[in-house]
Amino acid sequence: MADIQQFFKNYSLHNSTFKETSFDDENNVYLCTDTSQDVLNFDKLIEDKYPNPYLRPKSFDAIYQFGNVLYLVEFKNQKPSQIDNNAIVQKLNDGKKELDTFLTKLNIQKRDYSFKYCVVYKNCNKAIDRYKCGISKNIIEFGLEQYKNRVVDDIKTDSVSSFTKLLNKKLIIFTLNCEGKI
């Protein structure tokens, strides 16, 4: 049996960063500026597998590994109220199905890993938007609640700044654990 490193090794041509995978080509802007973490550009991997756009399944933007957790990340350069729920659900379902196929072909045991789907949206800058985003903090949005513990183990929907803080916090704890300070 292979481990998840085999998957990342096999598709290393698609290595990227959060910054690159968060690029919104319609508006020519990066949603995230983090270049310190390696991720797999899952959209590009799916594009290579399905060159015909009419036959291509939907997919999330990036896969980030942290220990035995795989974060399946979809970036949306929109406010939560502007995001199409059906499109987000389809990206989760199609993308996870494709990921499962890749892992099965490599004989990687999915049960050894935890899968977390993260929808990362535009920071809420205006006062009214910050209020709405504050109310929905820690609530799974976009009709994704029903997919928790069925398609993936956990779902997180949050602004890019909150997502970045979450990852930084995990990295600090991981570093401290590895150095034996906790």
pLDDT value at 75 more than 70: yes
CB-CB neighbours of 107 under 10 Å = 10
Q: What's the Rg (C-alpha) of the chain? A: 16
pLDDT value at 127 more than 70: no
Q: Are 40 and 8 in contact (CB under 8 A)?
A: yes
Q: List, in sequence order, every residue forming a beta bridge with 13; answer none if it has no partner.
A: none
pLDDT of residue 181: 38
pLDDT value at 171 more than 90: no
Question: pTM for the complete prediction?
Answer: 0.88
**Share of residues in the chain with pLDDT > 70 (%):** 84
pLDDT, average across residues 86-108: 97
Backbone angles phi, psi at 71, to 5 degrees: -90, 120
Predicted confidence band of residue 165 (pLDDT cuts 50, 70, 90): confident
